[in-house]
Amino acid sequence: MLLAVVGITVVYREYHDLEPRVELGDEGTPESEPEPQFEVIDLPEDGQGQTGHSNLCGVAIVPDRDLKALEVRLGGDRHDGAKVITAIHVYDDEETPLATKQTAGLDHGDWVAIEYDFSAGQEYRILLDGEGEQYVRYRAEASCPYEGDGLTVINGSYSPSDDSQTENYVYNIDRIRGSLAEGIDESEPDYRNIELSEVASDENASIADDPAGGMRPVASIDCQEGKPEHYSVETRWELEDLVGHEPDVVHFRYQIYFPTHFEFHQSMNHGGTKLPGPADHRGGGAAGGSHNPGEAWSARGYATTHGPNDATEDGSDIPLGKQVYDVTGASKDYGHMHSWKRGANKGEWVTIDERYEMGEPGEFDSRIAAWINARKAFDRDDYQFVDEDHGYKGVHEWRWHFYFGGRWGSPKEQSKYVRRFGVWTGDNCPELEDLE
């Protein structure tokens, strides 16, 4: 049974010094609190990247005092095009999962933190994986144990089970340290929804098992064969309800999975399927070829096949992009179709991050930036989302829009899947690196 699910990760690389707070003890003498973070334990870093692995791998530790969190660094060098690690897990020595934290997609050399109440003297297995997908596993020869301030690394672990523990190797991790403090250098979402049960309550959606074998259920978005203009899901979440206001800067994240045999309509540029995105449809317009100058805008996504107007630079299976109506009404009949340089691959979970920055009223300076698995896929800042008479407006809503058509339908009965939706606003937005 999964006892805790903790957040979504921001990739970072530097530690920040924390000064101890000084209080007076009972005798009036200065008494310093302990440092909230301990020294880094260096593990072997001259290992090798091994392809074709999908199992949970990492290290086993025993804290020598109660800890609130761990930070680990993924071992090895960056691997261009390698499938990235997407989760870190905590297990006990009875193979019970205690905490899982999904990530934006980690590569070798990145740091990740996970919060959990680690008890002194208890053995824990700190394991990373691609949640059922193959990734490049790092393995280095070792001579465990490695003792440090706060904890001891007692073994390498190539699964949660007792018979997968070894003193001779460590996996995926080449740095580790404990912390007495919570909230390590990370911004928690202003709103988070793990299972998307509201989305799955639609007539053409449902809660389903993870097609990649993950531990938590996901939302299945179903497409009916040959039905033109088919809405699988049409659900709108207002930002006022999610985060308490309409933000000027907002960051959305969700994950999507296209099965290996998913099919698109083949003969239309940008044809295939609409994907979610933010919008402001108050007063109508900004969809279906309809415009409402000064009032309405939208930036829904799309997924399609490779064609003259849709191609990726990363060789991925499925081109992605944005269909953008701005408030001027001057965008094309069906909006601007702006393709991204990175796309999605079939048969694996893809993390999509989207940042929206509302510009000055009446100016063409609103921005859309996007990342695929934490790598920059799109960045453009010449949209007008704020009319000169509506400077009070922020981002109004997130539109869960899964649509097969215009005039065509799905070539067969099929489903795609979504999970793990998060929203950040303002200065709390995650600082993703602009990895090329």
CB 254 within 8 A of CB 352: yes
Q: pTM of the full predicted structure?
A: 0.66
Query: Over the range 321-350, which residues count as b (16 or more CB within 10 Å of their CB) and which as e?
Result: bbbbbbbbbebeeebbbbbbbbbbbeebbb
CA–CA separation, 136 and 108 (whole Å): 9
Looking at residue 409, its pLDDT comes to 80
In 3-state terms, what secondary structure has residue 243?
Answer: helix
Q: Which of 163, 156, 152, 168 is nearest to 125 (CA)?
A: 156
CA–CA separation, 116 and 313 (whole Å): 39
The domain ranges of the chain are 41-179, 190-425
Looking at residue 144, its pLDDT comes to 96
Phi/psi for 397 (5° steps) reads -155, 160
Q: Average pLDDT of 379-405?
A: 87
The amino acid present at 64, given as its one-letter code, is D
CA–CA separation, 402 and 372 (whole Å): 19
Confidence band, pLDDT 50/70/90 cuts, at residue 436? very low
Looking at residue 156, its pLDDT comes to 96
CA separation (Å) from 52 to 135, 138, 142, 195?
6, 11, 22, 29
pLDDT at 26 over 60: no
Looking at residue 80, its pLDDT comes to 46
CA–CA separation, 233 and 219 (whole Å): 11
**3-state DSSP: the chain helix, strand, coil percent, rounded to 5?**
5, 50, 50
pLDDT digits (tens, 9 = 90+) for 109-126: 778 888 899 999 999 999
Confidence band, pLDDT 50/70/90 cuts, at residue 359? very high
Q: Where are the beta strands (DSSP E) in 93-134?
A: 97-106, 111-118, 124-129
Looking at residue 391, its pLDDT comes to 66
CA–CA separation, 150 and 81 (whole Å): 36
Lowest-pLDDT choice from 12-21, 143-152, 245-254: 12-21
Looking at residue 206, its pLDDT comes to 92
Looking at residue 257, its pLDDT comes to 94
Which residues are 130's β-sheet partners? 133
Looking at residue 10, its pLDDT comes to 36
DSSP designation for 77? -
pLDDT at 397 over 70: yes
Domain boundaries 41-179, CATH class: mainly beta
The amino acid present at 430, given as its one-letter code, is P
Q: Which of 257, 183, 250 is nearest to 9 (CA)?
A: 183
What's the CA dihedral at 365, 371, 377, 380 to 10 degrees? 0
pLDDT digits (tens, 9 = 90+) for 58-93: 999 999 989 989 989 888 776 544 456 888 999 999
Identity of the highest mean pLDDT range in 3-12, 284-293, 405-414 = 405-414
Q: Average pLDDT of 137-161?
A: 93
Confidence band, pLDDT 50/70/90 cuts, at residue 405? low
Q: What is the CA radius of gyration of the chain?
A: 23
Looking at residue 213, its pLDDT comes to 77
Task: Return all residues near 80 (Cβ < 8 A) that are at least 6 apart.
Answer: none
- Asked, as a colleague might, if the bond just before 145 is cis with ω within 30 of 0, I would say yes
Domain boundaries 190-425, CATH class: mainly beta
pLDDT digits (tens, 9 = 90+) for 160-209: 999 999 999 999 999 999 988 655 555 678 998 877 888 887 788 999 99
**Identical fold between 41-179 and 190-425:** yes
Confidence band, pLDDT 50/70/90 cuts, at residue 283? confident
